[in-house]
Amino acid sequence: MIERGALLQKLSRLGPGVRGGGDKVWAALKTRAGASIAGVTLLLLAFVALDYATLPPPLPAYAQVRATWHPSEAWLYDRNGVLIDSARVDFKARRLAWTPLDHVAPVARTTIVGVEDRRFFSHGGVDWLALAGVARDKAKGERARGASTLSMQVAGFLAPDLAAPGQRHFWDKIRQMRAAWALESRWSKEQILEAYLNLAGFRGEAQGIGAAALGLFGKTPDALARDDALLLAALLPDPQADAGTVARRACAVSHEQDCGRFAGEAASMLGPARSLALDPGLAPHLSDRLLTKPGLKVTTTLDRRIQTLAIVALKRQLQGLGGARARDGAVVVIDNASGDVLAYVGGIGGASTAPAVDGANSYRQAGSTLKPFLYAQAIEKGYLTPASILDDSPVQLDTASGLYVPQNYDRGFKGPVSARSALAGSLNVPAVRTLLLVGVDPFRDRLWDTGYRGLVEDGAYYGYSLALGSAEVTLLEQADAYRSLAQGGRWSPLRLTLDAPHTAPRAVTTQQAAWIVADMMADANARAVTFGLDSALHLPFWAAVKTGTSKALRDNWCIGFTQKYTVAVWVGNLEGDSMRAVSGVSGAAPVWRDIMLSLNAEERGAPPPRPAGVEARSITFAGAIEQPRTEYFLAGTGQNHIAFAPDESRRPRITNPVSGSVYAIDPDIPHDRQRLAVDVSGAVTAHRLWLDKTDIGAADSQPEIIAGPGTHRLRLTDVGGRVVDQVMFTIR
């Protein structure tokens, strides 16, 4: 740069006039330099403003995109890693697991790239030739074809504001181009293509080629054919296009003359949504229970083979019963040693009116299925032995809510029966008499300790009906409780997943009592009177089993175990209405039998070894109440001859009327014809009966009384006048 002094010195040599002109030249030069600096500054400011206006947002790295990918599904696997079910957890979009590029059929990759960005592998993020073509088309007034590259579209997927609806301005396009350059500088071409195939929307809510391939074609991405790829490529410009439009686009892309096949394929593809072909749907109720987060992969304890055979057995039985008799059912299969659930069938749909309800985990009335635990407790306490005689005759029990009059299933009574026959034949009155020995609260506590966690009330709430299963239980609870008998009275929680901890079992019932009760339930001869010798409960190998039917035929149960497995089956109607013509042996038992036969086809179950502390005796019954047999007793309680207790050994008591009874006088019948019979039991010789303050005769004379309206007291007195029993009843 020339300084002012040097310039004037050179000009002075030319003369005074020239020197004066030099001052003017310098002033002009100074003005031009200032203008140049200002111009450069303005240019720099404009460049900075342009750079800021078109600055794209920061884009994540490829590894970060992979790490933050969350599918909308979660998956359920069996114990061997085989997929058995899946569930939709996130409903914003339908996404499957991230599909690696090498898991996409090559024809699908090349077809989609050829349609969407044919110079993808040669440009650096922006296809200048395509942009020039767009400019040419616009200049001609023709419809311009899009010039967005795959890199630009991936940038838009990663930063949605780059491709927000309505943002089609020049500056927005420059931002997207700059984002594509930035992406190309950090990602490989393969990574960009893989991200595009996973992030692109294909149809409806299907995002990614994995969801599109399965949802539209029922295929995995590696199984896509050329026509599949053409149809997918035809969807990309407008995923909601109709079948005709998609077919025409596919035809144009294929460059074929005869494209009639595309119309039918497009219509089929865009028809009703397919279920995911890889999802066998074997445990939908368990998947709803365990699959709670998107992308979750849960390995269960289920065995696909056993799960399948349980489904088949239940489906066959429900189809045979017909929806008019019973609509729903559930099955649980347990491995006795580990407590692993090998099959969990909450329902099969079919004629069900509540297919989404999980029958395996729903609380239903237990029916007679609680009786084994009652008898086990009575035997354990020494109150009963399997040979003890129980009276199966009418009984009325006074309770806080009124009279409780238990009935047997067949409305008949067997008279004196052994405890073994009472349990095996599922007799109700003997069970209630056993509960009187054990006590309602102790029995309720025993059931709670055996895993029946639905019994949240005290014993008084359930009353004597607890012996007959008035409490509500789940099929899972039932299976685990019966498994405790198979395990010698030791209970531990079941496992549904392989990562669930193994809990040390705790003793609930003594090993001896558990073994004796299991032997009673396995006795085909003992249950023959009720179920016959050739019922569905009879197997060609050792198995302990118990059926149950709840009040009004709403629930039907069959639960039993062999040496290795416990199988629990429930059949009923989930909406709570009664079944029609379905009993324990015709409803759940056939399913139980089929599953047990399949499980033990190769290795027949053997009876458990008799534990120490249990002795065998050959016994006979007085009066031939039952046939002679070998019976098992707790050590020290064995007997060889069993007899029904004579009246002389029983406590004198009034058996009718029952205390608390209310009787109504019929006005159309003469009053003196309306008599009330009095019944007593026990050794009542020389005993007297008193109605209020009136002696009505000897206790053993079976008197009949006439009483007027009001509350009355009936007393039984011994020879010394001492009251040994009394009841209160009311006449209205």
Question: Which position has the token pair 């002795």?
Answer: 615
Residue 724, pLDDT > 70, answer: yes
Decide which of 392 and 612 is more confident: 612
| Single-letter amino acid, residue 337 | A
Considering only residues 671 and 143, tell me which one the structure prediction assigns the higher pLDDT.
671
Tell me 508's DSSP state.
S
Helices (H), 463-585: 475-486, 511-521, 528-531
Q: Could you tell me which residues are beta bridge partners of residue 149?
A: none
Question: Does 277 have pLDDT greater than 60?
Answer: no
Look at 121-130, 192-201, 400-409, 483-492 and tell me which has the smallest mean pLDDT.
400-409
CATH architecture of structural domain 647-731: Sandwich (2.60)
> In whole angstroms, what separates CA 147 from the centre of its chain?
50
Query: What would the mean pLDDT of 60-80 be, rounded to a whole number?
Result: 93
Write out pLDDT tens, residues 146-176: 678 999 999 989 988 776 554 556 677 888 8
pLDDT at 50 over 70: no
Per residue in 166-200, is it b (16+ CB within 10 Å) or e — as a string? eeeeeebbbbbbbbbebbbeebeeebbbbbbbbbb
Q: What does the pLDDT average to over 269-278?
A: 63
For position 650, what pLDDT does the model report? 74
Rounded mean pLDDT, 254-276: 73
User: What pLDDT band is residue 414 in, cutting at 50, 70 and 90?
Assistant: confident
For 45, 155, 170, 183, 675, the CA distances from 57, given in Å and listed in that order, are 21, 9, 17, 11, 99
Phi/psi at 596 (5° precision): -60, -40
Mean pLDDT, to the nearest integer, of 559-575?
A: 96
Please report, for the chain, the start and end positions of each structural domain, with discontinuous segments joined by +: 4-53, 62-72+90-269, 345-351+355-391+426-496+505-642, 647-731
Lowest mean pLDDT among 134-143, 201-210, 539-548, 570-579: 134-143
Summary mean pLDDT of the chain: 87
Which percentage of the chain shows pLDDT scores above 70?
88
Phi, psi of 631 (to 5 degrees): -120, 160
Q: Greater confidence, 541 or 173?
A: 541
> From residue 170, how far is each of 116, 145, 166 by CA, in Å?
21, 16, 12
Looking at residue 253, its pLDDT comes to 84
- CATH superfamily, domain 345-351+355-391+426-496+505-642, is DD-peptidase/beta-lactamase superfamily (3.40.710.10)
Which tokens is 209 given? Answer: 């080629």
Contact, 239 vs 228, CB < 8 A?
Answer: no
pLDDT of amino acid 261: 77
Give the pairing of strands 402-404 and 415-418.
unpaired
**CB-based burial label for 703 (10 Å; 0-12, 13-18, 19+):** middle
- Asked if pLDDT for residue 335 goes beyond 60, the answer is yes
Domain 62-72+90-269 identical in fold to domain 345-351+355-391+426-496+505-642: no
* pLDDT value of position 482: 98
Percentage with pLDDT > 90 across the chain:
54
Rounded CA gap, 570 and 328, in Å?
A: 8
**Closest alpha carbon to 373 in 520, 536, 541, 550:** 520
How confident is the model over 704-731, as a mean pLDDT? Answer: 91
303-330 confidence digits (pLDDT tens): 999 999 999 999 999 999 998 899 999 9
Work out the pLDDT band at 94, boundaries 50, 70, 90.
confident
In sequence order, which residues have a C-beta less than 8 Å from that of residue 559 and are 6 or more positions away?
369, 478, 479, 482, 545, 546, 548, 566, 567, 568, 569, 592
Which tops the pLDDT comparison, 414 or 229? 229
According to the model, what pLDDT value does residue 140 have? 73
**pLDDT (0 to 100) of residue 28:** 59
The three-point CA angle 290-276-157 to 5° equals 90
Q: With 50 as the cut, is the pLDDT of residue 71 above it? A: yes
Closest Cα to residue 219, out of 208, 232, 230, 210?
210
pLDDT(635) > 60? yes
In this prediction, residue 397 carries a pLDDT of 62
pLDDT average, residue stretch 629-641: 95
268-277, 429-438, 482-491, 623-632: lowest mean pLDDT where? 268-277
720 phi, psi to nearest 5 deg: -90, 5
3-state secondary structure of 312: helix
Question: Using an 8 Å Cβ cutoff, are 727 and 654 in contact?
Answer: yes
pLDDT of 184 > 70? The answer is yes
List all residues 6 or more positions away from 481 whose beta carbon is below 8 Å from its beta carbon.
Answer: 373, 447, 450, 451, 452, 491
Q: Average pLDDT in the 610-628 region?
A: 94
User: Of 360 and 584, which is predicted with more confidence?
Assistant: 360
Confidence of residue 1 (pLDDT cuts 50, 70, 90): very low
List, in sequence order, the alpha helices (H) in 400-487: 419-424, 428-438, 440-449, 459-462, 475-486
Instruction: Quick: pLDDT tens for 188-217.
Output: 999 999 999 999 998 878 899 998 998 888
pLDDT value of residue 89: 87
Sole residue written with tokens 């099959």: 343
In this structure, of 32-36, 76-80, 248-252, the range with the lowest mean pLDDT score is 32-36
| Per-residue pLDDT at 410 | 59
> Which range has the top average pLDDT, 123-127, 334-338, 652-656?
334-338
Give per-residue pLDDT as tens, 661-690: 888 888 888 877 888 889 888 888 889 999
Q: Is the peptide bond before 657 cis (omega within 30 degrees of 0)?
A: yes
CATH class, range 62-72+90-269: mainly alpha
Q: What is the model's pLDDT at position 18?
A: 46
pLDDT tens digits, residue range 467-523?
999 999 999 999 999 999 999 999 999 999 999 999 999 999 999 999 999 999 999
Q: What integer pLDDT is reported at residue 547 of this predicted model?
A: 94
Phi, psi of 721 (to 5 degrees): 85, 5
Determine the longest span between alpha carbons in the chain, in angstroms.
170
**Rounded mean pLDDT of 94-111?**
93
CA distance 500 to 705: 67
Q: Is the pLDDT of residue 11 over 50?
A: no
